[in-house]
């Protein structure tokens, strides 16, 4: 039995319930005492995980010193709060504890991956990242789920695998931290585009095209940043992209649908809540420009989300781009 602290009560609640089911001693932390009070009173996280009991075995606290003796700290806060939460946690984590980040995205302005952010803020801890097709609603009710864990220290990723793997949650270890993190961050942008396509009622062919060409451009940027191509064919790449582009659990897709139906990006994001593809579309667009990587879907998504371009015009521009070979190699050699 390990001592596990989970920071953040959205997806974090599902992970806490799952870790409790594995027999660990679990503490769930929130910055917001009111959120904990509601979970305590209702016996569940009503907003995100209705119907998933949060047992009294799971300690609820807003005191960050709960981290003092934990073996594993799971960071399950939204992207924008990762650095500040790490700074809050730093004085309490013991040397050598594992910190597992599940937030998906890139840091605004610095373009850093969250493992880089955590390595800066938590230099005495072992950093592991988790990514893959894993909607909280399904993890919480114990539906079969597979996820990838990656770390620069393979033993730390294997330790997470040992601690959290169970008959409903299968964890795979991967050494390509860059690829795993970029797949998780960038798929949200493609999910917004897929939602827009759904809102425009473009059909299944368009959705399949966005997913297939979307993973191609994610991989293109990923490889330019040091990732391995094959990682994007795995759970944290195409796996997560498929689930995010097709599921109504996906807030990115739901926001995209509203945009496709005529709402502005700001209105859509306001009504859905956490839509991490929205800030990430800007970051991914800027990274593509900086590294000179061609990313047509990201570029058009950026124009719709930030420059007021109509989704119909973005679609026309995507479909009428210059001719290409499907294989990058043939295209690049032919230029
Ligand atoms: N929801 C999912 O199914 C899912 C699955 C896999 C990964 N993730 C990733 O996990 C992260 C969290 O996702 P979520 O859906 O739980 O998000 P969320 O917006 O529902 O927020 C989760 C929790 O974070 C905490 N929080 C909010 N603002 C905070 C702040 N400023 N400082 C500290 N804590 C704060 C709160 O406890 C809140 O309940 C995201 O990066 C997301 O991409 C989510």
Instruction: Look over the chain and give the mean of its residue pLDDT values, rounded to a whole number.
Output: 96
Q: How far is the CA of 33 from the centre of ligand 1 (A)?
A: 16
Q: Kindly indicate the confidence band of residue 335, based on its pLDDT and cuts at 50, 70 and 90.
A: very low
- The domain of 150 spans 3-175
On the question of pLDDT at 101 being above 60, the answer is: yes
Please report which confidence band the pLDDT of residue 59 belongs to, taking 50, 70 and 90 as the band edges: very high
Domain boundary among 175, 209, 241: 175
Residue closest via CA to ligand 1's atom 22 equals 10
What atom in ligand 1 is closest to the CA of residue 249?
3
**Chain segment 288-320, per-residue pLDDT in tens:** 999 999 999 999 999 999 999 999 999 999 999
Ligand 1 contacts CB of residue 31 (under 6 A): yes
Contact (CB, 8 A) for 101 and 70: no
Q: Which of 175, 191, 215 is the last residue of a domain?
A: 175
Q: pTM (2 decimals)?
A: 0.95
pLDDT of residue 331: 52
Instruction: Give the distance (Å) from ligand 1 centre to CA of residue 7.
Output: 9
Determine if ligand 1 sits within 6 Å of the CB of residue 279: no
Instruction: Let me know whether 123 and 194 are in one domain.
Output: no
Looking up residue 262, the CATH number of its domain turns out to be 1.10.1040.10
User: CA-CA distances (angstroms) from residue 164 to 25, 136, 182?
Assistant: 12, 15, 23
Whether 85 is in the pocket of ligand 1, judged by its Cβ within 6 Å, is: yes
In this structure, are 232 and 125 located in the same domain? no
Q: How many of the other CB atoms lie within 10 Å of CB of 87?
A: 12
pLDDT of residue 284: 96
Question: CB of 102 closer than 6 A to ligand 1?
Answer: yes
Choice from 76, 79, 180, 185 to test ligand 1 binding pocket (greatest atom count within 8 A of CB) = 76
Q: Which residues are catalytic?
A: 187
State yes or no: pLDDT of 276 exceeds 90.
yes
Structural domain count of the chain: 2
Which of 139, 154, 175 is the endpoint of a domain?
A: 175
């Amino acid at each position: 039995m390990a001592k596990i602290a989970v920071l953040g009560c959205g997806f974090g609640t599902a992970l806490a319930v799952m870790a409790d089911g594995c027999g660990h001693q679990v503490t769930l932390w929130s910055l917001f005492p009111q959120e904990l009070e509601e979970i305590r009173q209702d016996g569940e996280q009503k907003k995100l995980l209705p119907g998933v009991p949060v047992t009294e075995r799971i300690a609820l606290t807003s005191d960050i010193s709960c981290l003092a003796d934990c073996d594993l700290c799971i960071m399950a806060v939204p992207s924008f709060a990762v650095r500040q939460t790490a700074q809050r946690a730093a004085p309490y984590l013991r040397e050598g504890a594992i910190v597992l980040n599940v937030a998906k995205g890139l840091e605004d302005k610095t373009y850093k991956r969250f493992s880089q952010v955590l390595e800066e803020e938590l230099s005495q801890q072992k950093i592991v990242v988790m990514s893959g097709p894993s909607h909280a609603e399904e993890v919480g009710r114990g539906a079969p789920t597979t996820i990838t864990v990656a770390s620069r220290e393979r033993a730390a990723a294997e330790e997470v695998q040992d601690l959290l793997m169970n008959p409903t949650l299968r964890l795979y270890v991967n050494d390509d931290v860059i690829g795993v993190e970029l797949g998780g961050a960038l798929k949200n942008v493609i999910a917004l585009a897929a939602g827009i396509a759904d809102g425009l009622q473009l059909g299944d062919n368009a959705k399949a095209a966005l997913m297939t060409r979307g993973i191609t451009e994610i991989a293109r940027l990923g490889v330019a940043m040091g990732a391995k191509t094959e990682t994007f064919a795995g759970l944290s790449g195409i796996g997560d992209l498929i689930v995010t582009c097709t599921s109504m659990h996906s807030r990115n897709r739901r926001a995209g649908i509203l945009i496709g139906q005529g709402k502005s990006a700001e209105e859509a994001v306001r009504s859905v809540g956490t839509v991490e593809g929205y800030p990430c579309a800007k970051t991914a667009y800027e990274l593509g420009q900086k590294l000179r990587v061609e990313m047509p879907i990201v570029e058009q998504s950026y124009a719709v989300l930030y420059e007021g371009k109509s989704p119909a015009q973005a679609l026309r521009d995507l479909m009428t781009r210059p001719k290409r070979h499907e294989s990058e190699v043939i295209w690049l050699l032919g230029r």
